[in-house]
Amino acid sequence: MLKAYIILAGVFMAGVLSTLAARHVWALGPAAKETAARQIELRVTDNQICKVEHVVDGDTVVLENGIHIRYRGVNAPETGYFLHDPAPWGMEAAARNRELLEGKMVRVSLGDPPMDAYGRVIARLYVPGKDQTPEVDVEAQLLREGLARVLPLGQRAAELDALHAAEEEARTKKSGLWSLSDDEPARRAQFTYACTANSRVFHKLGSGCAAARNISSAQFKGFTNLEEAVLTGRHLCSQCIQLQIKKSGKPAPEKVIDEAPMPDE
């Protein structure tokens, strides 16, 4: 008899708990709907038309839905966000990018693959034309004005040829970045890292590394940031790493290991 009462009590409590749970879910219905309405879907498809909400710098923008787009064909000079001072023409590149895109609708052409090693969406952006005028290729425009350099990030061969042609146009006219090329100190001042043309190792300029100081003008190959250097398949000099650790005042690890070199270009 006692066992029967226990079973009945268990069934009763299960029913009560189920009813309370159902009422709780019902009560949360409007709130759940309101929360869903405030959600933003962070996705973009190839050739989708989107609005540019904010321009970060010369090669990065934020779409209206919050997605950061890193240009897949060019690399613009740094504006100083991660550096103490902006690189030459960095502020001009950001301003021109802002003029071309901020607040405007664009066509997003995703890279192949559409994300880079840092998890960022990489794409080329085109401003649709009006009154039968052709759309504006933003990357090609920045290259023609000497406000960026070609960076083969998720590019197809035909697209890369067109970007190199736009870059060569600016180089020939000595526009923007290329106006500094005749002045060796100014030319080197544009870059944060450098190497000799045939080396698998690159160096941090201004680190105190003797190898960085001794790169000849004829062999000098510069990079505006770490990402650009690593994408060429090179790795950072161990001496530069040690000097940076010493300069920062932090204790050095027992052993500093270079980043594993990637395959040749």
Instruction: Kindly list the catalytic residues.
Output: 70, 78, 120
Radius of gyration of the chain (CA): 27
Helix (H) or strand (E) segment spanning residue 238? helix 238-248
**List of residues 6+ apart from 179 with CB closer than 8 A:** 146
- The full length of the chain comes to 265
State both tokens at 41. Answer: 């879907």
> Which DSSP letter does residue 49 get?
E
In whole angstroms, what is the distance from residue 176 CA to residue 143 CA?
9
> Which DSSP letter does residue 80 get?
S
In DSSP terms, 201 is beta-bridged to 235
Please compute, for residue 129, the number of CA atoms within 13 A of its CA located in the half-sphere on the CB side. Answer: 7
In DSSP terms, 71 is beta-bridged to 123
